[in-house]
Amino acid sequence: MKTEGLGKRFGDEAVVSDVDLRVPRGTAFGYLGPNGAGKTTLIRMLLGLLRPTSGTMELLGLPVPKRRRQALSRVGAIVDEPRFHGHLTGRQNLWALAAAREPEAHGRIEGALARVGLRERADDRVSAYSMGMRQRLGIAACLIADPELLILDEPMNGLDPAGMLEFRELLHSLVEEGRTVVLSSHLLDEVEKTCDAIAIVDRGRIVAQGPIDELRAGGAPILRIECSDPRRAGVLLRNRAGVAAVGEEDGMLRLELAADDPRAETANIAHLLLDAGFQLYRLQPDEDSLEERFLEITSRLGEAA
Amino acid sequence: MSTIALPVPRELGARLVRAEILKLRTRRGLMIASLLLTVGATVATFSILAVLHATDPAHHKLIGGLPHYDDGMYSLTQLSTIAAILIGATAGAGDLAAGFFRNLVVTGRPRWALFAARIPGGLAVLLPMTALAYALTAGLSQVVPGSEGTPSVALMIEAGLWFELYIAVMFLLALGFASLLGSRATTLGILAGLQLLVTPLVQGLHDPGVGAESILGIALWKLAPRELANGAPAGQLGMSLAAEVSVIVVWMVLALGLGCWRTMTRDA
């Protein structure tokens, strides 16, 4: 999946601006951003539900909307939230959707229902389904296309923790089969656990893009210290060259290190505190979570704006 | 034995039409209301006539015969029109209201094909129902006809074809408007008002004016067999057959054209 300079305006408001996105085949890719960042609008444009104001798009290497039909025949998608005819059963809804796809799609219905664990409830009306069951039916609707690419918009909404775990395993199995999964979400934790690479979007623009490990490593190293009198220890360390920022969190010191060698700086700080008569209970180097990086990037943009 | 293969466009596809039938047929409320408005209303009308005749034969004629056939056709046409509008509006706006239209669009199937499949799908649900109601009306008019004679076979065939045409046109009108407006309730309100208030009102005028000729319901009634006097416009409307057909065609092209255009351009 690839976009270049993709944009969408509603009147004077630019909801999506100049989005260049590259999603490699066979990966789980997270499109991560806060609510209102333009994630759903981008997905709607990719799927031909909304016309872009500018830019170009490709799905499975095919230009859209020019070869939209061919591209979408191997794409399964859930947009916003999965919605179905409430008066039809789960199986009937899939049947009606399969009718719009190639004839083989009907033969995939039973397999798709089994895979998402809905076989037992497939003959119940969808109006009686929980949100989690609708999400699963949405995935089943994607699977009847035997998709090379799945585009899922906030698929974890409405799932309980067990459902989320199950869902994550399902997505991993889809990627293992060589399919590409694009997951749009505001749930950082879920994206971090599910995806190999991400794009962070804010106010309609992509502000960072790449493998999760690389993005996570882009932040300053963090050192947490549990010691006697953390406030006085903070004052002592505040003006040190190798320390960029000092804070306190849950009774512990939280240092953002600016040194070239964080390990050596950690040892130096330990010596300094012991020499100054502090009791040291714990020194904990802490990798930035994706959440911290995300907040760092988006808040920096917020300040710039 | 050989079969005739109808030239169905590949994009339209019989499966898509069957899916439309499924979506309508499984709406219990819609099916019950439509059956009541067509078959149920016919049974009720003739049952009341039978009871009235049984209790007061001096003032109420036998249930069959030409006059009751004429009256029965008028009420059947009016009530079946409501059923046609209900089914047409549901076929036109049902996917959109359920949020299902989006799922269909992302399959890549051309939107015009999604729209077009609603036409045979809806007619396949509606027309058998109205045909049954008409068969009952025609059949009961042959039973105990009294002294005023029964409708001829030719009249019954002609009136039956006209009735199915009327209902099909009303269905297409509702389908087009619902696809255009995206709302079942608004379509129902507008078209029921047009058919049940405006059209009968203009039909009853002795000097309806030139504009009356452009009303779809009036053009359709002008196509009805002469014997169906109850429901035909009362005033002088000198429409030629070509004018009547033109009015119907223009309404259909407008409704279906706008409905298809909106289906193709709508943000799903």
Q: Does the pLDDT of residue A132 top 70, yes or no?
A: yes
* Residue A303 forms part of a structural domain: no
- Supply the pLDDT for residue B7: 45
Task: Indicate whether A144 and A76 sit together in one domain.
Answer: yes
Range of the domain at A172: 2-211
A258 vs A131, which has greater pLDDT? A131
- Contact list, A101 vs chain B (CB under 8 Å): 107, 109
Dump pLDDT digits (tens) for B198-219.
Answer: 888 887 777 777 678 888 988 8
Range with the largest mean pLDDT of A68-82, A138-152, B132-146 = A138-152
Q: Does the pLDDT of residue A236 top 70, yes or no?
A: yes
Q: Does the distance separating the beta carbons of A70 and B108 come in below 8 Å?
A: yes
Choose from B106, B263, B264, B265 for mutation: most chain A CBs within 10 A: B106
Of B15, B23, B267, the CB nearest to A88: B23
Question: d(Cα B185, Cα B90) in Å, to the nearest integer?
Answer: 9
Task: Indicate whether A79 and A141 sit together in one domain.
Answer: yes
Of A49, A71, A145, the CB nearest to B102: A49
Count of domains for chain A: 2
Of B22, B26, B98, the CB nearest to A83: B98
Q: How far is CA A270 from CA A247, A275, A276, A277, in A?
A: 17, 9, 10, 11
Chain A with chain B: Cβ pairs closer than 8 A: 82
- Contact list, A85 vs chain B (CB under 8 Å): 23, 94-95, 98, 100
Question: d(Cα B177, Cα B267) in Å, to the nearest integer?
Answer: 17
Nearest-by-CA chain B residue for A86: B98
Q: What is the mean pLDDT of chain A?
A: 88
Nearest-by-CA chain A residue for B268: A49
* pTM score, whole prediction: 0.82
ipTM for the whole complex: 0.86
* Residue A295 forms part of a structural domain: no
Mean pLDDT across the stretch B162-189?
A: 96
Dump pLDDT digits (tens) for A46-88.
Answer: 998 888 999 999 999 999 888 988 999 999 999 888 899 999 9
* Residue A226 forms part of a structural domain: yes
Task: Indicate whether A206 and A73 sit together in one domain.
Answer: yes
- Supply the pLDDT for residue B19: 96
Task: Indicate whether A255 and A177 sit together in one domain.
Answer: no
Task: Indicate whether A207 and A224 sit together in one domain.
Answer: no
Q: For residue A264, what is the domain's CATH number?
A: 3.30.70.100
Question: d(Cα B69, Cα B62) in Å, to the nearest integer?
Answer: 11
Q: Does the pLDDT of residue B5 top 50, yes or no?
A: no
- Supply the pLDDT for residue A147: 95
Which of A170, A187, A211 is a domain's end point? A211
Dump pLDDT digits (tens) for A190-231.
Answer: 888 889 999 998 888 888 888 887 777 666 778 889 999 999
Question: d(Cα B192, Cα B79) in Å, to the nearest integer?
Answer: 10
- Supply the pLDDT for residue B157: 94
Alpha-carbon gap: B119 to the closest alpha carbon of chain A (Å): 16
Q: For residue A109, what is the domain's CATH number?
A: 3.40.50.300
Task: Indicate whether A44 and A104 sit together in one domain.
Answer: yes
Q: Which of A85, A73, A154, A76 minimizes the C-alpha distance to A115?
A: A76
Element spanning A268, H or E: helix A262-275
Q: How far is CA A102 from CA A85, A107, B107, in A?
A: 21, 10, 10
A164 contacts A190 by C-beta, under 8 angstroms? yes
Question: d(Cα A30, Cα A192) in Å, to the nearest integer?
Answer: 8
Question: d(Cα A23, Cα B109) in Å, to the nearest integer?
Answer: 24
Task: Indicate whether A9 and A121 sit together in one domain.
Answer: yes
